[in-house]
Structure 1
Amino acid sequence: MADVAPNPRPERSIDIYRRSAAWLEENLPPGWSMSSDRPRSPAAPNRLLITAPDGESVSYAIIARKGVLSGDVARIASELSDSDRGFVCAHYLSDPVRRQLDGHGISYGDATGNVSLLATRPTIWVRNRGADADPWRGPGRPSGVLTGEPSERVVRALADYVGEMSVPELIKLSGTSTGAAYRVVEVLYERELLTRLPRGPITDVRWPHMLRAWAADRKPCPTRGFAAPGGLDDLLARLAATDGDPGYAVTGIGATDYATPAVLEVYADDVDAFAAAMDLRPIDGGADVMVATPWSAVVFERMQYRNGLRCVAPAHAYADLAAGPFRHPDAAEYLLTTLTTDEPAWRRPVRRTR
Structure 2
Amino acid sequence: MDELTPSPASVLPQGLDALQNLLGEEWEVTIQPEQTPLLHEGDKGWDAVVRITSRHDSIFTELLVDARDHITPKDVAARIGSTALLVRRVNHYTRLMVFAPWISPKTQEELRRRQIAYLDLTGNVSLRVSRPAIVIHTQGADRAPARHRPTSAKPMLTGPRAGRLVRLLVDAMPPYRATELAKYSGLSLPYVSRLLDALEDQLLIRRDGKVVTTVDWQELLRTRASHLDLMRQTNPQGLLAPNGVQPVLDRLVKRGGFIAGGEVLVTGSYAARPIAPVAVGGQLMLYVMPDPEHPRAVAKELGLVPVPEAADVLLLQAPDLSVLQRPRRFDRYWQVGLSQLVLDCLSGPGRMPAEGEKVIEFMAAEERHWRADDVARLSTDGGPGLF
| TM-score computed with the length of structure 2 as normaliser | 0.64
Residue in 1 that maps onto 2:284: 264
Alpha-carbon offset, residue 272 of structure 1 = 2.1
Instruction: Show CA shifts across 1:25-55 (max 9, x none).
Output: 334457642479xxx98653566989xxxx9
Residue in 1 that maps onto 2:332: 308
Q: In the alignment, is the contact (CA less than 8 A) between 1:148 and 1:295 conserved in 2?
A: no
CA distance in 1, matches of 2:343, 2:313: 19
- The answer to whether residue 221 in structure 2 is matched with residue 211 in structure 1 is yes
Alpha-carbon offset, residue 330 of structure 1 = 2.4
CA distance in 2, matches of 1:168, 1:275: 41
Instruction: Describe the shift of the 1:3–1:218 C-alpha distance in structure 2 as closer, same or farther (beyond 3 A).
Output: closer
Instruction: Show CA shifts across 1:116-152 (max 9, x none).
Output: x999953599xxxxxx7677x56xx124x31011110
CA distance in 2, matches of 1:248, 1:19: 59
Query: How many residues in Structure 1 have an aligned counterpart in Structure 2?
Result: 297
Structure whose alpha-carbon radius of gyration is higher: 2
Q: In the alignment, is the contact (CA less than 8 A) between 1:250 and 1:267 conserved in 2?
A: yes
Q: In the alignment, is the contact (CA less than 8 A) between 1:321 and 1:328 conserved in 2?
A: yes
Residue in 1 that maps onto 2:117: 87
Residue in 2 that maps onto 1:22: 46
302, 314, 321: which one aligns with 1:297: 321
224, 227, 230: which one aligns with 2:240: 227
Q: In the alignment, is the contact (CA less than 8 A) between 2:283 and 2:313 conserved in 1?
A: yes
171, 174, 180: which one aligns with 2:182: 171
Q: In the alignment, is the contact (CA less than 8 A) between 2:206 and 2:213 conserved in 1?
A: yes
Q: In the alignment, is the contact (CA less than 8 A) between 1:147 and 1:219 conserved in 2?
A: no
Amino acid at match of 1:87: A
Q: In the alignment, is the contact (CA less than 8 A) between 1:157 and 1:170 conserved in 2?
A: yes
CA distance in 2, matches of 1:80, 1:227: 49
Amino acid at match of 1:230: N
Q: Is the partner of 1:188 in helix, strand or coil?
A: helix
CA distance in 1, matches of 2:351, 2:94: 39
Residue in 1 that maps onto 2:200: 189
Instruction: Describe the shift of the 1:171–1:338 C-alpha distance in structure 2 as closer, same or farther (beyond 3 A).
Output: same
146, 154, 171: which one aligns with 1:142: 154
CA distance in 2, matches of 1:309, 1:69: 43
Residue in 2 that maps onto 1:328: 352
RMSD value, Cα: 4.2
CA distance in 1, matches of 2:271, 2:329: 9
Amino acid at match of 1:321: C
Instruction: Describe the shift of the 1:123–1:325 C-alpha distance in structure 2 as closer, same or farther (beyond 3 A).
Output: closer
Could you list the runs of 5+ residues in structure 2 that have no partner in the other structure? Answer: 1-5, 11-41, 54-59, 66-76, 137-146, 378-387
Query: Equivalent residues in 2 for 1:36-47 (5 A)?
Result: 44=82
Residue in 2 that maps onto 1:110: none
Q: Is the partner of 2:319 in helix, strand or coil?
A: coil
Residue in 2 that maps onto 1:278: 302
Question: Identity over the aligned pairs, expressed in percent?
Answer: 20
Q: In the alignment, is the contact (CA less than 8 A) between 1:226 and 1:289 conserved in 2?
A: yes
- The answer to whether residue 251 in structure 2 is matched with residue 238 in structure 1 is yes
Instruction: Describe the shift of the 1:210–1:262 C-alpha distance in structure 2 as closer, same or farther (beyond 3 A).
Output: same
**Mean alpha-carbon deviation: is it higher for 182-191 or for 155-164?**
182-191
Residue in 1 that maps onto 2:109: 76
Extract structure 1 runs of 4+ deviating beyond 6 A.
Answer: 46-50, 62-65, 117-120, 132-135
CA distance in 2, matches of 1:310, 1:20: 58
Q: Is the partner of 2:359 in helix, strand or coil?
A: helix
Amino acid at match of 1:122: A
CA distance in 2, matches of 1:21, 1:341: 41
Residue in 2 that maps onto 1:161: 172
Alpha-carbon offset, residue 294 of structure 1 = 2.1
Alpha-carbon offset, residue 242 of structure 1 = 1.4
Alpha-carbon offset, residue 58 of structure 1 = 8.4
Alpha-carbon offset, residue 253 of structure 1 = 1.9
Amino acid at match of 1:183: R
Q: In the alignment, is the contact (CA less than 8 A) between 2:238 and 2:309 conserved in 1?
A: yes
CA distance in 2, matches of 1:205, 1:68: 25
Instruction: Describe the shift of the 1:224–1:29 C-alpha distance in structure 2 as closer, same or farther (beyond 3 A).
Output: same
Amino acid at match of 2:186: G
Instruction: Show CA shifts across 1:71-96 (max 9, x none).
Output: 646x839x969xx975359xxxxxxx
Alpha-carbon offset, residue 59 of structure 1 = 6.5
Residue in 2 that maps onto 1:13: none
CA distance in 1, matches of 2:84, 2:221: 26
Alpha-carbon offset, residue 282 of structure 1 = 1.4
CA distance in 2, matches of 1:249, 1:182: 31
| TM-score computed with the length of structure 1 as normaliser | 0.69
Alpha-carbon offset, residue 285 of structure 1 = 2.0
Residue in 2 that maps onto 1:255: 271
CA distance in 2, matches of 1:267, 1:35: 53
**Mean alpha-carbon deviation: is it higher for 231-240 or for 324-333?**
324-333
Instruction: Describe the shift of the 1:212–1:88 C-alpha distance in structure 2 as closer, same or farther (beyond 3 A).
Output: farther
